[in-house]
Chains A and B, each alone.
Chain A
Amino acid sequence: MKKQFLTGHQIVTQACIDAGAKHMFGYPITPGTEILTNWIDAAQTNPELTQLQTEDEIAAGFAVCGAVMAGNKAFTATAGPGTVLMQDAMSMADGMRLPVVVIIAQRGGPSSGTVIYSQQEVNLAIHGGNGEGMRIVYSPSTVEELYTHTRKVFNAAWKYRFPSVLLTDGFLLKTTQDVELSFDTKNEKGDITIFEQNKKQHIRNIYTVEEELYEELQRQKKDFDKMALEITESEEYKIEDADIVIISHGIVGAAAKAAIDILRESGISVGLFRPITLSPFPTDALNTLAGRVKKFVIIESSMGQLRDLVKQELDTSIAIKIDGLYKPAVGISVEEIVEKINLISK
């Protein structure tokens, strides 16, 4: 594989094409717009790709629902207020188990907030619907992972039929870098058509009897837990002898790694636990670690959305100290992380 000089947006777009996506429906919003424009550029010369700039994110999301029900891979990309509107369609995808793929380019919130960066859309990505949040959410930390995780998101969506999200941000998407795009897993088949010629389907998302919905949700939960055993992923970095373990996801995870290398040089035994799938969460790996190390330091560009996920998953019989650096909607530098850990380990 030869290296290419690409932006994060270009990498994600290419990954969607390579994953076998045929349709994109989208509404422009910074910092995700370039995925739409890059896709439209690609569609100019590739007759297999179609696109539609819809009237809003609601229509984009439901058009994706329609396209996947017809059996084709389709996706949208959105951010911030658009991620809020997208919940309507994502909730239908939750209820009907539709392999809808959404690329979320997090920006600062609430409201219109800021337009480039945050890690504040974790809750929306996982729990934005009017149900339990049985969604698959990947959080890439490098441009290489933008590619591999987008491919994984499509595969997971079509294999397990849960709506699936690539949760990223404008910093990573706007990064331009030499990158080798490689992914050696085969694409899941996209042509599993709900509506086959001879098999008439009647599909609902509303139930008249409470027990019917209850049973459907039990089935979904069973499938979700089974799926979780197969795809849950996390990265552990220099944790073998660590007293302190930083927990970060996405781009902050990459900064934490660089900080750990610096801290290790001054003799501080610190490591990193980075959930790659925020949903399903790597609960077992987290708890194994919690039983072994002295302290978790959660570092994220939100007021504590990752912390809440961690606390929710933590085995309550384990007593572990939790410290944190919470900086909603601003980037976190390597130096800040070094300083924070230095302060703690004094």
Chain B
Amino acid sequence: MTAISTFCPGCGQPAILRVMHGILKEKKVEEKAVLGLDIGCSLLAWDYLPINTFQTHHGRVVATMVGYKKAKPDSVSIAYAGDGGAYAIGFQSLLWAAIRDEPVTVIVNNNAVYAMTGGQTAPTTMIGQKTSTSPAGSDQMPVNGPELIRNLNKDAYIARTTMTDMKELKGHLEKAFEAQAQGHFSLVEVLSFCPTNWKVMGAELRAYVERMQETFPLGTF
């Protein structure tokens, strides 16, 4: 039933989604799970996994999943968004879902660019990083989402991890779903490859993510 991936070859997103699905399967909550997708490359996951999935609008997936969860409190409500969807256009909804401790799980794919629209500056673009809207290199302070949100909610599960370490990724996602089951907000930001917009390939992708960690430290917050 799983469709063929329409993500670019080498993209980090399918790996994240597969790890996430593995957990739902293991915990036997596939039926109760519902995956809401922001618009960004995340939209490509609309028919990728054998679980209920729907697209929303750019920046609106968190608000939609808040409503979904209200109507179906026993669901596992997952909002999957890019860094732009989460920390720019949808920031207000994300922060308020965290402040109100809404029991939804937000997974943020941090690829340091607006990938779907061709590599513009994102809230997570790093100082000096060149993008099509920062040709001279970005001089804008990158947004550290997890660190910020930690200050808004003491009960939430908040972490940053990377898709280059599947074991860590799995551990954080498991804890995030547990937090949702306990009635709390959770957010896991995942550093993730975008070979198409970074214009790097192979081993360089890992090196790129290592460099990202200087701006975006891994761990729980």
Please report A residues at the B interface, Cβ cutoff 8 Å: 22-23, 25, 50, 52, 54-56, 58-59, 61-72, 74, 88-89, 91-92, 96, 194-195, 197-198, 200-206
Contact = CB atoms under 8 A, between A and B. Distances in A.
Given A55-B93, A70-B75, A202-B46, A63 B63 contact: yes
A54 B96 contact: yes
B56 A200 contact: no
B25 interface: no
A75 B82 CA distance: 28
A69 B66 CA distance: 12
B211 interface: no
Main secondary structure of the interface of A (DSSP, over half): mixed
Interface string B92-120: 11011000100000000000000000000
Categorize the interface residue count of chain B: 20 to 34
Contact of B57 (A50, A62, A63): A62
B72 A92 contact: no
A92 B92 contact: no
A55 B92 contact: yes
Given A58-B60, A204-B54, A66 B92 contact: no
Nearest to B92: A55
Given A61-B63, A202-B52, 14 more contacts: A23-B71, A52-B70, A55-B96, A63-B66, A66-B67, A66-B71, A67-B71, A70-B72, A88-B57, A200-B1, A201-B52, A202-B53, A202-B54, A204-B43
A-B residue pairs, 7 tightest by C-beta = A66-B67, A63-B67, A70-B71, A66-B68, A62-B63, A59-B63, A203-B54
Nearest to A23: B70
Nearest to A69: B68
Contact of B55 (A52, A54, A197, A203): A203
A23 B68 CA distance: 11
B46 A203 contact: yes
A50 B70 contact: yes
A98 to B, nearest CB: 10
Contacts of A56: 92
B203 to A, nearest CB: 32
Nearest to B37: A204
Given A88-B57, A202-B47, A65 B64 contact: yes
B66 A59 contact: yes
A208 B52 CA distance: 20
A28 B201 CA distance: 51
Given A23-B70, A72-B71, A206 B64 contact: no
Contacts of A202: 46-47, 52-54
A200 B51 contact: yes
Contact of B67 (A23, A203, A206): A23
Contact of B65 (A66, A194, A206): A66
Nearest to B58: A88
B60 A92 contact: yes
Contact of A54 (B36, B50, B63, B68): B63
B56 A65 contact: yes
Contacts of A92: 56-57, 60
B139 interface: no
Contacts of B150: none
B28 to A, nearest CB: 13
Contacts of B93: 55, 58-59, 62
B51 to A, nearest CB: 6
A60 to B, nearest CB: 8
Contacts of A63: 63-64, 66-67, 70
B61 to A, nearest CB: 8
Nearest to A55: B96
B64 A66 contact: yes
Nearest to B46: A204
Nearest to B72: A70
B34 interface: yes
A82 B81 CA distance: 25
